[in-house]
């Protein structure tokens, strides 16, 4: 499918997911050769109508250059005239006025003409017409099985994680605000605002939320170990959110480290490895999500100049602070005797996603009155888009929003993720 058509579908995805009934569309896409029967079967086994609509739209983007036009034809054939017009219009700025649905007229065969009684002026009586209801036109049936090519096993669609447990899973939030005087770290004013937002948001997404405050380094490890020992067999997902100071650290998988209130630091890769398939068997094959609001280092990004229509600049608050400490305090303090308890080996981190508030090596900005840029936008985008968009798409929206803010009119911030998920992830929504 052309990139232009993909963008049109994604722009109107929310409306389509909200209203589309795939049962009306799938037969048409099958008869036009866009979908195979195997593809339709996989769509129809989804539990909810929204999930079926999401799967149809995701698969549609993989079906070649004819798929978009065929989809428009199917929409019109099944009565979705407004949707077809909106997609065909493209940008959606001036949606076409909906056309009234006219009944289809099909003439019945007439055996012979009939005439009036006046033989001098014969008048042919028109044939009788029978109106049909919209959507009752015959749909061409697919060719017989013996004339079809054998369909190969599907390998071109991305499946979705199961996310319907109640509750969906545990969400652990570690909120470090008040740091010991000997740590040389400032208190993180405004972090409680972030914590409250994330607690409300993930409760709304049907997670069991546990909040821990002002943890020393060893207690961060202890609580991660406790979380790993939980029985997650009845859950579908696990979330860890860390709000703290951070710094650079040696790593071979996930960069960065987060600080306890005593000044010690735990590498992010150690935190993630507590929940890997070896250390937490009940989470094998399930998504494990980490959201890190902390600096990745001490460097400040002043950005680069772009044209005015490229961005919509947004000013940060007057009291913007960073969550960074100098690099010199980060390396030697990370190797502690209990590190091997967290990971004896480093297996492939499948089904993990680590989202960072900033690029490795750079500071992360936090407003003392409004909270951090990253958490504020993560909360907002989840509220607006969690019912229609997958997690990776949501995080790209957060990246874009944060990238357009400036601290003190100068400094920038760029979030990012290390994504090892194997499927699309859609949160539960009310």
Q: Long-range contacts for 329-333 (Cβ within 8 Å, ≥24 apart)?
A: 329/184, 329/247, 329/263, 330/247, 330/248, 330/249, 330/257, 330/265, 331/248, 331/249, 331/250, 333/263, 333/264, 333/265
Set 171, 237, 280, 295: catalytic member:
295
The dihedral built from the CA positions of residue 371, 373, 379 and 380, taken in this order, carries a sign that is positive
- Grouping H, G, I as helix, E, B as strand and the rest as coil, residue 267 is strand
User: Is position 102 within any domain?
Assistant: no
Annotated catalytic residue: which of 5, 245, 259, 280? Answer: 245
* 225 and 315 together in one domain: yes
Question: Domain boundary at 58, 93, 128, which?
Answer: 93
* Average predicted confidence (pLDDT) for the chain: 76
Q: Say how far apart CA 407 and CA 372 lie, in whole Å.
A: 11
The answer to whether 371 and 307 are in contact (CB under 8 A) is: no
155-204 confidence digits (pLDDT tens): 345 699 999 999 999 999 999 999 999 988 889 888 999 999 999 999 99
Q: Interior CA angle at 373 toward 369 and 374, to 5°?
A: 130
Q: Looking at the structure, tell me whether residues 89 and 173 fall in a common domain.
A: no
Whether this prediction's pTM lies above 0.85 is answered by no
Residue 107 lies in a domain: no
Tell me if 152 is assigned to some domain. no
Asked if residue 386 is part of any domain, the answer here is yes
Domain match, 88 and 176 both: no
Dihedral sign for Cα atoms in the order 49, 55, 61, 64? negative
Average pLDDT over residues 41-65: 84
Is 187 in the same domain as 315?
A: yes
- Same domain assignment for residues 266 and 400: yes
pLDDT of 130 reads 46
Name the residue with tokens 């996930």: 254
Domain annotation covers residue 62: yes
> pLDDT: is 239 or 157 the higher one?
239
pLDDT at residue number 221: 96
- The pLDDT assigned to 15 comes to 84
384 and 298 in a single domain? The answer is yes
Which residues 6+ apart lie within 8 Å of 48 measured at CB? none
The whole-angstrom separation of Cα 234 and Cα 232 is 6
Residue 389 and residue 249 in one domain: yes
Query: Of 57, 72, 93, which residue constitutes the final position of a domain?
Result: 93
37: confidence class by pLDDT, cuts 50, 70, 90: confident
**In the chain, how many domains are there?**
2
156 belongs to a structural domain:
no
In percent, the amount of the chain with pLDDT more than 90 equals 36
**Interval 59-104: pLDDT, tens:** 888 888 888 888 888 888 888 888 888 888 874 444 444 444 454 4
Mean pLDDT of 239-256: 85
Q: Model confidence at 338, in pLDDT bands (50, 70, 90)?
A: very low
Q: How far is it, in rounded angstroms, from Cα 199 to Cα 203?
A: 6
Q: Is the pLDDT of residue 241 over 90?
A: yes
Residue 98 belongs to a domain: no
Same domain, 242 and 344: yes
Residue 211, judged by CB atoms within 10 A of its CB (0-12, 13-18, 19+), counts as middle
Percent of the residues in the chain that have a pLDDT greater than 70, as a whole number = 68
The answer to the question of residue 155 being in a domain is no
Residue 320: pLDDT band (50, 70, 90) is low
Shared domain check, 210 and 66: no
Check if 245 is active-site.
yes
Is 259 part of the annotated catalytic residue set? no
**What are the pLDDT digits (tens) for 116-139?**
444 454 444 444 444 444 444 444
Q: How confident is the model at residue 339 (pLDDT cuts 50, 70, 90)?
A: very low
85 with 192, same domain? no
304 shares a domain with 179: yes
Domain that holds residue 324: 169-419
Instruction: Indicate which CATH number applies to the domain containing 272.
Output: 3.40.50.1460
d(CA 128, CA 105): 10
CATH at residue 17: 1.10.533.10
Phi-psi bin for 47: left (phi > 0), alpha (psi -120 to 50), beta? alpha
Q: What is the pLDDT of residue 117?
A: 46
Looking at residue 391, its pLDDT comes to 97
Per-residue burial over 100-109, b if 16 or more Cβ lie within 10 Å, else e, is eeeeeeeeee
Note whether 261 and 179 are within 8 A (CB). Answer: yes
Domain end call among 67, 93, 119: 93
Rounded Cα distance between 110 and 126, Å, is 9
For 177, counting Cβ atoms within 10 Å of its Cβ (0-12 exposed, 13-18 middle, 19+ buried), the class is middle
Shared-domain flag, residues 369 and 252:
yes
Phi, psi of 293 (to 5 degrees): -100, 90
pLDDT value of residue 334: 30
User: Prior bond to 94 cis, omega within 30?
Assistant: no
């Amino acid at each position: 499918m052309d990139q232009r058509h993909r963008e049109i579908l994604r722009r109107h995805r929310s409306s389509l997911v909200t209203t589309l009934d795939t049962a009306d569309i799938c037969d048409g896409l099958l008869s036009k050769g866009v979908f195979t029967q195997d593809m339709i079967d996989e769509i129809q086994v989804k539990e909810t109508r929204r999930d079926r609509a999401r799967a149809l739209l995701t698969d549609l983007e993989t079906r070649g250059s004819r798929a978009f036009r065929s989809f428009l034809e199917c929409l019109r054939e099944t009565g979705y005239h407004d949707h077809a017009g909106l997609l065909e219009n493209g940008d959606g700025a001036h949606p076409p006025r909906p056309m009234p649905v006219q009944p289809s007229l099909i003439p019945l065969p007439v055996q012979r003409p009939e005439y009036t009684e006046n033989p001098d002026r014969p008048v042919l009586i028109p044939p009788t017409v029978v109106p049909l209801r919209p959507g009752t036109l015959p749909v061409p049936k697919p060719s017989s099985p013996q004339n079809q090519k054998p369909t190969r096993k599907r390998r071109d669609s991305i499946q979705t994680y199961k996310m319907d447990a109640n509750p969906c899973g545990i969400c652990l939030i570690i909120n470090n605000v008040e740091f010991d005087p000997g740590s040389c770290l400032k208190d993180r004013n405004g972090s409680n605002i972030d914590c409250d937002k994330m607690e409300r948001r993930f409760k709304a997404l049907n997670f069991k939320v546990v909040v821990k405050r002002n943890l020393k380094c060893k207690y961060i490890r202890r609580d991660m170990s406790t979380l790993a020992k939980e029985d997650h067999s009845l859950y579908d997902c696990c979330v860890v959110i860390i709000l703290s100071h951070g710094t650079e650290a040696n790593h071979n998988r996930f960069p960065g480290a987060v600080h306890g209130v005593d000044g010690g630091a735990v590498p992010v890769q150690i935190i993630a490895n507590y929940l890997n398939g070896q250390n937490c068997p009940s989470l094998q094959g399930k998504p494990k999500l980490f959201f890190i609001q902390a600096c990745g280092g001490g460097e400040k990004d002043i950005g680069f100049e772009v044209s005015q229509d490229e961005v919509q600049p947004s000013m940060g608050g007057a009291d913007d602070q960073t969550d960074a400490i100098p690099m010199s305090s980060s390396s030697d303090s990370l190797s502690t005797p209990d590190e091997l308890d967290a990971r004896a080996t480093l297996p492939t981190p499948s089904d993990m996603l680590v989202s960072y508030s900033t690029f490795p090596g750079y500071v992360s900005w936090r407003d003392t009155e409004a909270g951090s840029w990253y958490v504020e936008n993560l909360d907002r985008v989840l509220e607006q888009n969690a019912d229609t968009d997958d997690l990776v798409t949501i995080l790209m929206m957060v990246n874009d929003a944060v990238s357009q803010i400036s601290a003190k009119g100068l400094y920038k911030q760029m979030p990012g993720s290390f994504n090892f998920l194997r499927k699309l992830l859609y949160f539960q929504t009310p």
